[in-house]
Structure 1
């Protein structure tokens, strides 16, 4: 059985850093959508690229990976989404923090 302290594994630091950057970028884009004068430096394309980078760093798919986002264990995972309505199959990033 995995320990609840597994999220402190130093091998997960690159993933944690990337997820924190992703969350900040996502927050910035949300603010920009509400405030046209915000002058955001990122685009939804940047966010999509970052999602793919995070998915590539995940050691597994279709299950949660515990990570340390600065306030205890959080979870990051990628789940398989089948092709539907002309959209290609893909993995969807999910973050619970």
Structure 2
């Protein structure tokens, strides 16, 4: 039986750092697209750069996950949060892939 404190495992720190960076980039992109003024958000990154950064971080996070198609508990600073990758089936023009999901 897994412990409720497994999310504090130091081996998960690289994953936690990537998820934190992903969430910060996602928040910056959201603010940027809502205001349409990079200076107001304190960033010089364009929406395209942020989309590329999010895609890169998503792939890095998926590579760090110890399992697929189930939640992994991580510590994002306020108790256990969950991160996981679920398979999205192939469609006519797109191959099968994994989609990142974060619950915080």
Question: Do both proteins adopt the same fold according to a TM-score greater than 0.5, normalized to the shorter chain?
Answer: yes
State the alpha-carbon separation in 1 of the partners of residues 36 and 103 from structure 2. Answer: 28
Aligned to 1:11: 11
Structure 1 residues 59-84: Cα deviation after superposition (integer angstroms, max 9, x where no partner): 01001000000000000000011101
Residue 55 (1) aligns with residue 83 (2): no
Taking structure 1 as the reference length, the TM-score comes to 0.95
Taking structure 2 as the reference length, the TM-score comes to 0.89
- Aligned residue pair count: 97
Please, which moves more after superposition, 27-36 or 40-49? 40-49
Structure 1 residues 1-22: Cα deviation after superposition (integer angstroms, max 9, x where no partner): 1010000000000000110010
State the alpha-carbon separation in 2 of the partners of residues 7 and 81 from structure 1. Answer: 26
- 5+ unaligned residues in a row in structure 1: which ranges? none
SS at match of 1:80: strand
- 5+ unaligned residues in a row in structure 2: which ranges? none
Please, which moves more after superposition, 60-69 or 40-49? 40-49
Deviation at 1:38, TM superposition (A): 2.0
SS at match of 1:59: coil
